[in-house]
Amino acid sequence: MAAEPLDDYIDAVAKALALPVEEAWRPAVRANLEVSLRLARLVDEFPLPDETEPASIYSA
Amino acid sequence: MTVKSDGLSAQQIAQAITDRKLSAFEATEAALARIAAHDGVLNSFTDVTADRARTTARAIDAKIAAGESVGPLAGVPFAVKNLFDVKGLSTRAGSKINRDLAPASRDATLIERMEAAGAVLVGALNMGEYAYDFTGENVHDGPSRNPHDPTRMSGGSSGGSGSAVGGALVPIALGSDTNGSIRVPSSFCGIFGLKPTYGRLSRARSFPFVASFDHLGPFARNVGDLALAYDAMQGPDAADAACTTRPVEPVTPLLAEGLSGLRIAIAGGYFQKNVLPEAVEAVARVARALDATQTIEIPEAARARAAAYVISTTEGASLHLDRLRKRPNDFDPAVRDRLIAGAMVPAPLVDRAQKFRRWYRAKVLELFKSADVIIAPATPCIAPKLGQATFVLDGVELPVRANIGIHTQPISFIGLPVVAVPVPLEPMPIGVQIIAAPWREDIALRVAHALERMGVAAAPAPRGL
């Protein structure tokens, strides 16, 4: 059983994407992922209309 | 010839060369001599293209001797962040891995345009690995150092650009800004930097980071030089899918129009939090000089910064996915671990960040109905010490790397044009962002020019050399 809640997820995605994650890197990868997910949650919890278009093809 | 180029602005150099009081060759040699004398301390250059520079300079002198016209940047030495393609060099983008790339076969569009205006490329500049950096530190090449105190950071990721211009080695440098990488080194090194509107300047033949937010732009020691370089580089370019088809809109003739008719506001809320006293003082000085009393709230700026972070880490991960698989040990470990984590952010969260960007853009554009310019800190503090891991903001100890760009990210997130102006505080300068509506670089530069004329914004002479 993984020591940290995200470890199973990290293992699964690393396998799916064929990304190497050495044990020595794991704490830093986990810490970075925790930050990314915390910030993504801040965006996620903001209600947007269903019709909102993404801005990925962007014009200022 | 009768003029020495050390200490001259780009405009003064070009004028002296056009007037035959200085040769382009002499101006180039002087720049090469400054680099040789001071770059041992600054570590701003990774490549000095001396032979190429001498050849270019001789060609300019020959044109002048033949009575042919030379451009407005005739003989002006400049250098570029090493993510720009320079013909004959591998575009390393601050990395170890890219040194194995074949040498570039053609210069980046912006280098071609600078040289078409008469400027002389003298080298490529140090930067944070793959531009994922706010410090100017680099594990492969060593840190670029602050020209006012070499024990401090230059800022990143265009650290060499800030260091070389702040140290007066060259009057103009080019860099890139995805989340703050022009504005942060401008702030720490005490110089002017322009992050234009997203899509304004071509990114063709430069190494990318986050396609959604990547911008290129100039650094200079005064607003006239900044505008001159910007004008030389404008124009459509089919080789960059995001580059605008708008015609060239020269700003140099507009600088002297001053502040007349401009409504200037101070960014409140988020932009007044997480700042040290020096950033508060710099914004206050600029606000006083501009007679700005209106404060406006940029809505949901913290969420905008969060969304910028999410899009950056995931687009960066996508860009580097195969390098992460094949050469993970050749990355700066800190960059590698951030990118691997970025690859693991679920796709719906990225999509939501892009949708939020559309919402936020609409809200911020509404603000420009009641203000032409918004001023905000460029960085929360003066340049930290090299290697410094944390600082204290609002009583909370926070990691330096992740938080230097908290005030720049919500602005580049929607591609607004910004001039970072240096406020020459003691002992170290710090920058303020002059933010305008999309495509209104002219307004931001006019305000910067007015601040310069009032003596509120100025690039201090390098104190650490």
**Going from the N-terminus, what domains does chain B have, and what CATH number goes with each?**
10-453 (3.90.1300.10)
Interval B75-89: pLDDT, tens:
999 999 999 999 999
Provide ipTM, 2 decimals.
Answer: 0.82
Residue B65 CB partners (closer than 8 Å, separation 6+): none
Interval B157-193: pLDDT, tens:
999 999 999 999 999 999 999 999 999 999 999 999 9
Backbone angles phi, psi at B270, to 5 degrees: -50, -40
Phi/psi region, residue B396 (left: phi>0; alpha: psi -120 to 50; beta: rest), is beta
Q: Quick one: angle between helices B109-116 and B223-233, nearest 10?
A: 110
pLDDT on residue A50? 81
B18 token code pair: 């056009």
- Determine, for residues A60 and B199 on separate chains, whether the beta-carbon distance falls below 8 Å: yes
Question: CA B375 to CA B286: how far, in whole Å?
Answer: 8
- Decide if B358 contacts B311 (C-beta within 8 A): no
* B1, pLDDT greater than 80: no
CA distances from B170 to B13, B128, B138, B207, B217 (A): 11, 20, 21, 23, 15
Distance from CA of A25 to the nearest CA of B (A): 7
Question: CA B234 to CA B242: how far, in whole Å?
Answer: 13
Of A33, A37, A60, the CB nearest to B198: A60
Active site residue B81: yes
Chain B interface mutation, best of A26, A43, A56, A58, highest count of B Cβ atoms under 10 Å: A43
- Residues in A touching B359 (Cβ below 8 Å): 48, 52
- Determine, for residues A40 and B438 on separate chains, whether the beta-carbon distance falls below 8 Å: no
pTM for the whole structure: 0.96
- Residues in B touching A43 (Cβ below 8 Å): 303, 306-307, 310, 349, 352-353, 356
- In chain B, which among 102-141 make CB contacts under 8 A with chain A? none
Interval B35-78: pLDDT, tens:
999 999 999 999 999 999 999 999 999 999 999 999 999 999 99
Interval B250-278: pLDDT, tens:
999 999 999 999 999 999 999 998 899 99
